[in-house]
Amino acid sequence: MRMQSVLEKLGLTDENAGVFDGEWRGGGVKIDKISPIDGRRLASVRTASDDDYNSAVSRAHEAFVKWRVTPGPVRGETVRRLGNALRELKHELGQLVTLETGKIIAEGEGEVQEMIDICDFAVGQSRMLYGLTIQSERPSHRLMEQWHPLGVVAVVTAFNFPVAVWSWNAALAAVCGDATVWKPSEKTPLTAIAVTKIAERVCRETGADPAIFTLLVGDRKTVGQKLADDPRIPLVSATGSVNMGLHVAKNVHGRLGRTIMELGGNNALIVTPSADLDMAVQSIFFGAVGTAGQRCTSTRRVIMHESVASKVRERLLAGYESLSIGNPLDRKTVMGPLIDRHAVDMVQDSVQRLKNEGGEVLYGGERLTVPGGAFGGENQTGGGRESGSDCWKTYMRRQTNTINFSSELPLAQGIQFGAGEGSGTA
């Protein structure tokens, strides 16, 4: 499918508004999105201004106030329809992910499938926002746990998973009764706009206020820093570098807000003497080249028992020698470009540092010359998860109610009012 057809099918034009809160606009600077595949300009985006930020967060809060009293299963219906709308446009949205990030088409479509899957998960969760019934030490008392919507949730996403991470947060937040404000990476604004247009259409079909899925494309100063500092936002979910995470956590926790963090990784695979070497090599190899090594889960290190080290090394070298690098829209390609030339420079700097410290490059290590393309980590990782298990509770606030169905009112620590000379009640 031609690039222009993909953009048109997803409602994108040559110049696109980067702010949505029920209405589309953008009073900030205009940015051009260049594809890492061949250096072509895909489209332009008008980013958020300071005024856009303030009005968008206010609108998201207005939408939250109405959305939080909508029954959970009804909220789930909107998310169910969102999943179906993504199914209908999986191919086109997957291609846009590839055009904008450079990841291979199987990964682009796979990322959209992750969005669909989490919508299915969230729909079921919408009927299971359970609270506990707890035994009390007092006679004729019962404790009952309730979960209430939290508020406006900020979702800050990175370029390497430009749409899946939003859905992991937004689908769960939506069924929990929250509104979300999405700040996508400035490197991948078009996928964010396309997804928000899909969400807008679904909301208008179901009668939900589309501002529950608010979008703010902008830089750190205009959007990112403000989200971290804004007391109207009780939860910030952020994906990115460790340095970014440290900064966001300090600001959000400094105002007693909550955070979910997905940061960098220094991941190691361990190969033991009893390992299935074919399986191990395949895992190591794709873990390293998937998304051109730009994942928080990318293979960074391999720790091998000396009895299998030479065999694993030989098989890995054979894999790299036959690795198909090229246009990620070609389904035969295994690895596409890095996101931009700055990313290539960072890889080259890391290779040089390795050499300076006595390391040896066994294969490759040089910049590839491909017209227009950018072909070519962090050391900590966050412990946050956006969805799965009972992570839905992160998007809600817990309240425990005490129910007294007796005619007595016993007080804590045995305190009694009105007992003894000179005592009284106020």
What is the tens place of the pLDDT at every residue in 35-71? 999 999 999 999 999 999 999 999 999 999 999 999 9
Task: Give me the mean pLDDT over the 257-262 stretch.
Answer: 94
Over the stretch 183-209, which tens digit does the pLDDT of each residue have? Answer: 999 999 999 999 999 999 999 999 999
Q: Residue 262 region, left (φ>0) first, then alpha (ψ -120 to 50), else beta?
A: beta
Which has the closest alpha carbon to 179: 256, 84, 78? 78
Tokens of 286: 């794709």
- Res. 411: pLDDT tops 80: no
Q: 3-class DSSP state for residue 196?
A: helix
Phi/psi at 89 (nearest 5 deg)? -115, 20
Residue boundaries of the structural domains of the chain: 3-263+388-402, 267-356
Catalytic annotation on 145? Answer: no
Catalytic annotation on 262? Answer: yes
- Res. 131: pLDDT tops 50: yes
Which listed residue (92, 111, 262, 386) is catalytic?
262
Determine the pLDDT at residue 382.
41
- Res. 421: pLDDT tops 60: no
How big is the chain, counted in residues? 426
Tell me the C-alpha to C-alpha distance, in Å, between residue 212 and each of 88, 253, 273: 22, 24, 52
Instruction: Please count the other Cβ atoms lying within 10 Å of the Cβ belonging to residue 423.
Output: 9
What is the separation of C-alpha 306 from the centre of its chain, rounded to a whole number of angstroms? Answer: 39
Contacts with 269 (C-beta within 8 Å, 6 or more apart), sequence order: 280, 283, 284, 287, 299, 301, 302, 303
Determine the pLDDT at residue 404.
84
The C-alpha atoms of residue 21 and residue 188 are separated, in whole angstroms, by: 19
Average pLDDT, whole number, for the chain?
Answer: 91
- Residue 30 identity: K
Residue 126 binned pLDDT confidence (cut-offs 50, 70, 90): very high
Phi/psi at 183 (nearest 5 deg)? -110, 100
Determine the pLDDT at residue 1.
63
Which has the closest alpha carbon to 8: 48, 47, 42? 42
- Res. 384: pLDDT tops 80: no
Please, are residues 336 and 98 in contact by the beta-carbon 8 Å criterion? yes
Please, are residues 308 and 273 in contact by the beta-carbon 8 Å criterion? yes
Residue 426 binned pLDDT confidence (cut-offs 50, 70, 90): very low
Tokens of 118: 């989490």
Q: Per the CATH hierarchy, to which homologous superfamily does domain 267-356 belong?
A: Aldehyde Dehydrogenase; Chain A, domain 2 (3.40.309.10)
Between 3.40.190.10, 3.40.605.10, 3.30.420.10, 1.10.600.10, what CATH number should domain 3-263+388-402 receive?
3.40.605.10
Which listed residue (111, 176, 296, 386) is catalytic?
296
Determine the pLDDT at residue 413.
67
User: Lowest mean pLDDT: which of 156-170, 323-337, 412-426?
Assistant: 412-426
User: Lowest mean pLDDT: which of 4-13, 248-257, 353-362?
Assistant: 353-362
Which residue has 């900590």 as its token pair? 380
Tokens of 163: 């749409």
Task: Give me the mean pLDDT over the 350-376 stretch.
Answer: 80
